[in-house]
Structure 1
Amino acid sequence: MYILLVCFLIISFIFIISGESFILYFDKNAKDNYSVVDSFFIGLCLIGALLNIWSLFLPTDVFSLLFVSLLSLALFFIHSKHFISKLKAGVSLLKSEKIFFVVTIIAIVSVLLFAVINPQNYDTYLYHINAIQWNEMYRAVPGLANLHDRFGFNSSMMVMSAAFSFNAIYDQYIFALSAIVFLVFFIWLLQLIYYKKGVTGMIAILFLYFFTQLYAKNISSPGTDLIPNIFVAYILFSLLFDTDSLNKKYLLFVVVPFFGITFKLSIFPLVFLGLIALYQKHQNKRFAFTQLFTVGSFLILPWLVRNVILTGYLIYPMDTLDFFNFDWKVPKENVIATKNAIYNWAKVPMRNPHEVAKLSFNEWFSIWWKMAIFKTRCFLLLAVLAPVFYGLYLLISKKERKKAVLFFVIVAYLGLAFWFFSAPDVRFSLAFILVLALFPLFILQPLIDKIKNVLYPIVIAFTLFFFYTFLQEGYALFQHDYRKETDLSYLYLPEDIYFIKEKRFIKYKDFTVKSTDNQDFKIYAPSIEHAQCYDKFPCTPTFDYNINMKGDDFQDGFKYGK
């Protein structure tokens, strides 16, 4: 746990310093409008974009971590007066708010319980760890998606996890990125509950409760679902709870959505908020377009280049964006098969995707709806009815707030539609569903404010109940992984992922591929009964004999066929 705390501090320092420095450069006059949490998320995106650029030329390893650390230190000393004054203000606030300080400590301990357990995400063992290893050992590898289609998904999470794995320092993987991002978001929601109270506090605690029910087990994994959904919730709630925030802190609404799509395409609708924020901020539209092009290119272009290198396509697996003819390009039929498998598995999981593809809309939707649990159905119905609730809102709201709330509803509703018609698995986009489902509470604010004195004890009681259930689940998972009462190694360092593999007696087959200079290279695949790769490298869940090396070593890439 101690090492996890150290990693939390290092990552937070890098993100906050980078975000604050960016704000000081691009929006200095409005710097006081941005919170530390805003800076954290902006910095996360900027560092992620920088690492994507790095990965085009060099492996994303300990040297990339050293680079961003030194860069952050340099920025800290350049703006030392600003950061020292902010630090003093933060310490003074914590001293004056002793109750919230205690709540924050409990939140940190709670998240640490989840962070120290073995990764619970199935895909982490299937391909996440191997994808991270490819990023650590090599720069972007041409045609890597030919080896295994999931290596072509190219989420920035894999690049950032490689940079922040701390593997070279501790000789094992420390998956701290999801945990620290969740912790910051967790504390932000607790702040809303503690200070805003009323309807805002009620929405925050209800969202936190149902959100963690689905994603809590992702805290210890380098998965690609948790952080994008946090992005969605943070951006939409920032707009809903402060309807002037598009004007006051436009950089947040530009940077996070634009970079967010490099984590997961499902959050694409958030980009519209960035466009609106830029349009409203700058009277000179030419300057707005120039800034959009500059910032957008920095955030997205390296990711697009990586897509082309890994797969041969601009966005994978979208076979319609087929503009290139590199010899490493994944065959179009394979791309279509991957795309259909994702979509059909999301519609009816645990069933043959080819069979699902033959079902009509009514047939698969009926199965999909029956498989959804009761609370998910309720959330979906409330989310679908969001336009109706907005109509009610128009009748009772103040004029100056209507536009911002309209933007909130439109973008969230677009996110809901994008999710449903692309890959309708709830874990991909729960944030869009939940924020819309809780929107009716926001509408009832004038009524609920009249009983605020009654509501606040209810919010506090529900918050205590949440902490109880959250800690209980975390402790149960913790006990499962650390059963020996005398084994206190977890207080220093989480269990090594390598030993998890050894406990399961994973067996591998090895396959030989030849380089262009006729040298033999081994690629591993787990036996059928095991399926997952764990940390065996290089590994693919299924080996395709049509795969060939393009050059003298793995860095030169892979191609399909001769």
Structure 2
Amino acid sequence: MVQLLILWGYIFAMNACIGTGVLKILEKCIYGWKNTSSSEQFAVSWTELAGVIAITVYAEIVSLFGAVGQIAHLLLLGLAAFFTLWCRTTIRKIAGKILRILFSWDGVLYLCLILLTALFASRGLQHTDTGIYHAQMIHWYEDYGVVKGLGNLQQHFAYNSSSLAYAAVFSMKWLVGQSLHGTNGFLQAFLVVWAVRGLRGFWRRKNHLADGCRLAILIYALVVSERIMSPATDFSSMYLVLWVICIWADLLTSDKNAELMQIHGYALLSVAAVFVATCKLSAGCLVILALYPFVKLLRRRQWKSIFIYIFCGVLVLAPWLIRNVLISGWLLYPFTALDLFHVDWKIPAEYVQHDSDQIKVWGRCLYDVARIDESPLSWFPVWWAEKRREEMMLLIGNVIALAGLALGGVYTVFVRRGNLPWDKMMLYVATLCSIAGWFLTAPFIRYGLAFLLLLPCMVIGEWIRPIRMGPVRIVSGFGCVGVFLCLGMFWDYYVLFNLVWIKQNVGSRYYMVQQDYDLPKVYPYEIEGGLTVYIPKQGENISYYAFPGDAYQSMAERVKMRGENIRDGFMMK
């Protein structure tokens, strides 16, 4: 725990320094370098989010040329030091604000929440996919960056979630001799404290849409705490979704007299939405949010701003796409529709399609690739029957919330003859499209959990506002009670689950250092070209230390080296 708390403090400081510097550069590019205004008004949530994005993109760019290790980290530290000097007034204010909060009565509560998160993040169970490929992928970042055709060795490597680049930056293996996995725990600790602090002003606000999003963050933390020590890409991507949508909802209630500043805020969040898509393609529909600030800036003829934000989006996307091509030979994996590159390390299309189909049928609980073409009417009963009771209640809550949202929209437009704010509409459209895309492709609950929590929580937040009572409000009120009861059963299950987990794990010895990766039993296997890889003797958990590893011998059997050195990469036989 102590090791993690030190790491989290360091991550927070690095995010703040890098994020503040990046935001100040953007500000100067948009308003001019001679402009005397500064980034002193940027909230901590903005600087932290900008820092996460910038550090991840930096790590991806570095990985194209070499290892994300000691040298890369020291260069990043030097950049952070430069930004600290350049933005010292802002950094000093951020530090002062944090210290005032910590040394207050509120700070006691926040410290307890951080310590509780550290308890979960320091020990426990590894996420299944961490054993299959997350840990190995971080090891590849640390030792080599990227090699051509890595996806041939094991196709899971081709998923290329950018969140693992962020995890590799702060693994600190070169410093402490152990690859730490604390970035997901940091995201949870920061966002839980941020959400709780945001809820302090609940009674002073008339609009509670953002409060609903904050509630969704807290519920999600309950769900994933047991395995939050894993660098699982699901956790980081879902937390980023919650983060972006919560800030967007908060902007909805900002001062309308500062509309242009609000639009720039939406544009920055659109860049963040592009970043979220690089963490998890299943969250790609969030990019729909970008339409609103684009149209607004277009109407204002803010050509310079449009170019800058598009450039930022391309800068976020480009290194991830380049890594995709280098790892798998495909621009977007596992989608065969974009067949643009013909390189010798390209994963054959039939393997890519099989992987894509397998993800879908497993998500639909069919477990047979031959059933990929079945319609939703055919597979839905099977899928529904496989859900646990609390998952069923969450899904029912979403159906009720959707009905309430539709009722409220119809009432506003056709009865009250009012207008629906476009920024709020885009928020709901992005959320609903994400849920629809999740359901029609690979409806694992964990793939879309952030959206499944956001919709009902936002609807509840919308209802809790001081408007005149009437028939529609009464009906929608009953609906909100139903949604609340459904969510109540969902979070009640995980509250009890986490209490049991604490009872079982509080006596573990990981109060100074973090529990290390698993050490499964493995055996060596020599692939064509003379390289020895390691295969798990049982199951598919290869974890971190057996490197280079492959969770499946069947995949190792069909691959060979492209040259004499591991840096030359891999290709199919």
Q: Give the TM-score of the pair, scaled to structure 1.
A: 0.87
- Structure 1 position 325 matched with structure 2 position 342: yes
Counterparts of 2:419 and 2:83, CA distance in 1? 38
- Structure 1 position 128 matched with structure 2 position 134: yes
- Structure 1 position 368 matched with structure 2 position 354: no
Of 533, 546, 554, the match for 2:558:
546
Question: Structure 1 residues 305 and 360 mapped into 2: Cα distance closer, same or farther (>3 Å)?
Answer: same
- Structure 1 position 443 matched with structure 2 position 488: no
Q: Which residue of 1 aligns with 2:169?
A: 163
- Tell me which moved more, 287-296 or 386-395: 386-395
The equivalences for 1:61-460 within 5 A come to: 61-93=69-101, 95=103, 98-197=104-203, 199=208, 203=212, 206-243=215-252, 246-247=262-263, 249-281=265-297, 283-348=300-365, 351-357=366-372, 359-372=374-387, 373=389, 374-385=392-403, 386-394=405-413, 402-447=421-466
Question: Structure 1 residues 231 and 311 mapped into 2: Cα distance closer, same or farther (>3 Å)?
Answer: same
Counterparts of 2:96 and 2:456, CA distance in 1? 39
Q: Which residue of 2 aligns with 1:508?
A: 522
Q: Secondary structure at the match of 1:559?
A: strand
Question: Structure 1 residues 131 and 63 mapped into 2: Cα distance closer, same or farther (>3 Å)?
Answer: same
Question: Structure 1 residues 352 and 468 mapped into 2: Cα distance closer, same or farther (>3 Å)?
Answer: closer
Kindly provide the CA deviation profile for residues 84-130 of structure 1, in whole angstroms up to 9, marking residues without a partner as x. 133224434555xx332121111111111111113431111111111
Kindly provide the CA deviation profile for residues 392-446 of structure 1, in whole angstroms up to 9, marking residues without a partner as x. 4557999687222211111111111121122111111112122212233233233
Q: Which amino acid aligns with 2:59?
A: L
Counterparts of 1:333 and 1:76, CA distance in 2? 50
Q: Secondary structure at the match of 1:539?
A: coil
Identity of aligned residues (%): 22
Question: Structure 1 residues 397 and 10 mapped into 2: Cα distance closer, same or farther (>3 Å)?
Answer: farther
Counterparts of 2:374 and 2:40, CA distance in 1? 54
Question: Structure 1 residues 383 and 61 mapped into 2: Cα distance closer, same or farther (>3 Å)?
Answer: farther
Q: Which amino acid aligns with 1:423?
A: A
Q: Which amino acid aligns with 1:477?
A: W
**Deviation, structure 1 residue 206:** 4.2
Q: Secondary structure at the match of 2:523?
A: strand
Kindly provide the CA deviation profile for residues 465-498 of structure 1, in whole angstroms up to 9, marking residues without a partner as x. 99999887556435545646xx4xx22212222x
Of 51, 57, 60, the match for 1:49:
57
Counterparts of 2:185 and 2:503, CA distance in 1? 19
Q: Which residue of 1 aligns with 2:541?
A: 532
Question: Structure 1 residues 449 and 430 mapped into 2: Cα distance closer, same or farther (>3 Å)?
Answer: farther
8 Å Cα contact 2:297/2:306 also seen in 1: no
Question: Structure 1 residues 201 and 407 mapped into 2: Cα distance closer, same or farther (>3 Å)?
Answer: closer
Counterparts of 2:213 and 2:221, CA distance in 1? 12
Q: Secondary structure at the match of 1:429?
A: helix
Question: Structure 1 residues 338 and 466 mapped into 2: Cα distance closer, same or farther (>3 Å)?
Answer: closer
- Tell me which moved more, 238-247 or 197-206: 197-206
Q: Which amino acid aligns with 1:557?
A: G
Question: Structure 1 residues 21 and 492 mapped into 2: Cα distance closer, same or farther (>3 Å)?
Answer: same
8 Å Cα contact 1:193/1:201 also seen in 2: no
Question: Structure 1 residues 177 and 119 mapped into 2: Cα distance closer, same or farther (>3 Å)?
Answer: farther
Q: Secondary structure at the match of 1:316?
A: coil
Question: Structure 1 residues 81 and 396 mapped into 2: Cα distance closer, same or farther (>3 Å)?
Answer: farther
- Tell me which moved more, 412-421 or 267-276: 267-276
Counterparts of 2:23 and 2:214, CA distance in 1? 30
Q: Secondary structure at the match of 2:531?
A: strand
Q: Secondary structure at the match of 1:438?
A: helix
Question: Structure 1 residues 90 and 444 mapped into 2: Cα distance closer, same or farther (>3 Å)?
Answer: same
8 Å Cα contact 2:237/2:279 also seen in 1: yes
Q: Which amino acid aligns with 1:522?
A: T
Aligned residue-pair number: 531
Counterparts of 1:294 and 1:7, CA distance in 2? 32
8 Å Cα contact 1:139/1:555 also seen in 2: no
Question: Structure 1 residues 316 and 86 mapped into 2: Cα distance closer, same or farther (>3 Å)?
Answer: same
Question: Structure 1 residues 173 and 384 mapped into 2: Cα distance closer, same or farther (>3 Å)?
Answer: same
Counterparts of 2:449 and 2:497, CA distance in 1? 20
Q: Which residue of 1 aligns with 2:473?
A: none
Kindly provide the CA deviation profile for residues 331-377 of structure 1, in whole angstroms up to 9, marking residues without a partner as x. 000000000001111111xx533254264432211111222333222
8 Å Cα contact 1:153/1:316 also seen in 2: yes
8 Å Cα contact 1:340/1:353 also seen in 2: no
Counterparts of 1:9 and 1:30, CA distance in 2? 25
Q: Which amino acid aligns with 2:428?
A: V
Q: Secondary structure at the match of 2:334?
A: coil
Counterparts of 2:441 and 2:491, CA distance in 1? 35
